[in-house]
Amino acid sequence: MLIFVSGGARSGKNRYAEDLAAQLAQKKCVYYYAASIAYDDEMDERIARHQAERPASWQTREAPFEPEAVLHEAEPGDVVLFDCLTTWLARMMFMCNRMPDELEHELNEWLKVTEARGLTLIIISNDVNEEVPPHDRRTKQYIHTLQLLHRKLTSEADRAVQMIAGLPLEWKAQ
């Protein structure tokens, strides 16, 4: 099962996705894939807060470059919570110089592995295309690629939820 949760910064998407993961896992394991890297004091605090709020039974994997490894580690029926596509994509494009078609291919591989292994994958991402359009080529490419991946996820998802001011708007339900 694939669930896509999007929303603006501080919209409640993480809390919603975490509550959903806990509900869906029941007696199975939740793997929390954290893509963020602390790059300043505020991010240090956010990461520490997120870590403290997660249930101790969850398997946290802080591996900013290798999300597919978590999908292979999980067992059928487990829930994998991917936090978040936005930061992973930025890292892959800006630090690793990966191209949009490579990243789309990688996303397709995650979806294949998820289905083949009988997992539930919850992917969190930020809505960043509602701001003033950027003027530089790389940022435009990033936003276009993120929107391409969002469209792919919503088309493949069993559920697609957008968080707005802490309220879930179900765009696609099972």
Catalytic residues: 50
Closest CA to 34 of 72, 110, 78, 85: 85
Helix 137-156 to helix 100-117 angle, to the nearest 10 degrees?
20
Residues 6+ away with beta carbon under 8 Å from 145: 89, 93, 100, 103, 104
Bridge partners of 101, per DSSP, are none
Residue 27 token pair: 């007696």
Residue numbering of the annotated binding site:
34-36, 62, 83
Buried b (16+ CB within 10 A) or exposed e, 25-36: beeeebbbbbbb
Query: Which parts are annotated binding residues for GTP?
Result: 34-36, 62, 83
